Amino acid sequence: MECVDDFRLRLGRQELVPIVIGGMGVDISTSDLALVAARLGGVGHISDAMVPTIADRRYNTKYVKDKLRQYKYNVANDDKSDVQFDLARLAEATEMHVRHTMEAKRGAGLILINCMEKLTMNAPKETLRVRLRSALDAGIDGITLAAGLHLGSFALMEDHPRFRDARLGIIVSSLRALQLFLKKSVRTRRLPDYVVVEGPLAGGHLGFGMDWANYDLAAIFAEIQAWLRAEQLEIPLIPAGGIFTGGDATSFLAHGAAAVQVATRFTVARECGLPDDIKQEYFKADEDDIEVNGISPTGYPMRMLKNSPAIGDGIRPNCEAYGYLLDARGRCQYIDAWNREAAAHPGAKKIRVWDKTCLCTQMRNFDLWTCGHTAYRLKDTSRRLDDGSFRLLAAEHIFNDYRYSKGDAIALPPA
Ligand SMILES: Cc1cc2nc3c(=O)[nH]c(=O)nc-3n(C[C@H](O)[C@H](O)[C@H](O)COP(=O)(O)O)c2cc1C
Per the domain annotation, does 411 fall within a domain? no
Whether the pLDDT of residue 152 is over 90: the answer is no
Find the 125 Cα to ligand 1 centroid distance in Å.
Answer: 24
Per the domain annotation, does 206 fall within a domain? yes
| Closest ligand 1 atom to Cα of 369 | 1
Average pLDDT, rounded, for the chain: 96
**Predicted confidence band at 410 (pLDDT cuts at 50, 70, 90)?**
very high
Q: Give the per-residue pLDDT at 99.
A: 98
Name the residue at shortest CA distance from atom 6 of ligand 1. Answer: 24
Q: Structurally, how many domains does the chain consist of?
A: 1
Average pLDDT rounded to a whole number, residues 24-46? 98
Per the domain annotation, does 376 fall within a domain? yes
Q: Give the per-residue pLDDT at 148.
A: 66
Average pLDDT rounded to a whole number, residues 55-76? 97
Q: Give the per-residue pLDDT at 333.
A: 97
What CATH number corresponds to the domain at position 162? 3.20.20.70
Amino acid in the structure at residue 260: V
Q: Which residues sit with their C-beta closer than 6 Å to ligand 1?
A: 22-25, 28, 47, 49, 114, 116, 146-147, 171, 198, 201-204, 240-243, 261-264, 267, 370-372, 374
Name the residue at shortest CA distance from atom 8 of ligand 1. Answer: 25
Average pLDDT rounded to a whole number, residues 380-401? 98
Find the 206 Cα to ligand 1 centroid distance in Å.
Answer: 9
| Closest ligand 1 atom to Cα of 26 | 8
Per the domain annotation, does 358 fall within a domain? yes
Q: Give the per-residue pLDDT at 151.
A: 80
> Best mutation site among 24, 113, 195, 215 for ligand 1, i.e. most ligand atoms within 8 A of its Cβ?
24
- Cis before 26? omega within 30: yes
Q: Give the per-residue pLDDT at 149.
A: 65
301-346 pLDDT per residue, tens: 999 999 999 999 999 999 999 999 999 999 999 999 999 999 999 9
Whether the pLDDT of residue 65 is over 90: the answer is yes
Find the 357 Cα to ligand 1 centroid distance in Å.
Answer: 19
| Closest ligand 1 atom to Cα of 264 | 25
Per the domain annotation, does 410 fall within a domain? no
Q: Give the per-residue pLDDT at 119.
A: 93
| Closest ligand 1 atom to Cα of 45 | 17
**Predicted confidence band at 12 (pLDDT cuts at 50, 70, 90)?**
confident
Strand 237-240 with 302-305, pairing: unpaired
> Best mutation site among 115, 194, 216, 264 for ligand 1, i.e. most ligand atoms within 8 A of its Cβ?
264
**Predicted confidence band at 178 (pLDDT cuts at 50, 70, 90)?**
very high
Name the residue at shortest CA distance from atom 5 of ligand 1. Answer: 24
Average pLDDT rounded to a whole number, residues 164-171? 97
Residue 182 domain boundaries: 4-404
The model carries a pTM of: 0.98
251-298 pLDDT per residue, tens: 999 999 999 999 999 999 999 999 999 999 999 999 999 999 999 999
Whether the pLDDT of residue 150 is over 80: the answer is no
Average pLDDT rounded to a whole number, residues 204-228? 98
Per the domain annotation, does 409 fall within a domain? no
Per the domain annotation, does 413 fall within a domain? no
341-388 pLDDT per residue, tens: 999 999 999 999 999 999 999 999 999 999 999 999 999 999 999 999
Per the domain annotation, does 126 fall within a domain? yes
Whether the pLDDT of residue 147 is over 90: the answer is no
Find the 202 Cα to ligand 1 centroid distance in Å.
Answer: 6
Q: Give the per-residue pLDDT at 41.
A: 98
Average pLDDT rounded to a whole number, residues 200-208? 97
**High-pLDDT (> 90) share of the chain, %:** 96
Find the 69 Cα to ligand 1 centroid distance in Å.
Answer: 33
Name the residue at shortest CA distance from atom 7 of ligand 1. Answer: 24
Average pLDDT rounded to a whole number, residues 156-165? 97
For Cα atoms 196, 218, 153, give the angle at the middle one, nearest 5 degrees. 20
Find the 15 Cα to ligand 1 centroid distance in Å.
Answer: 24
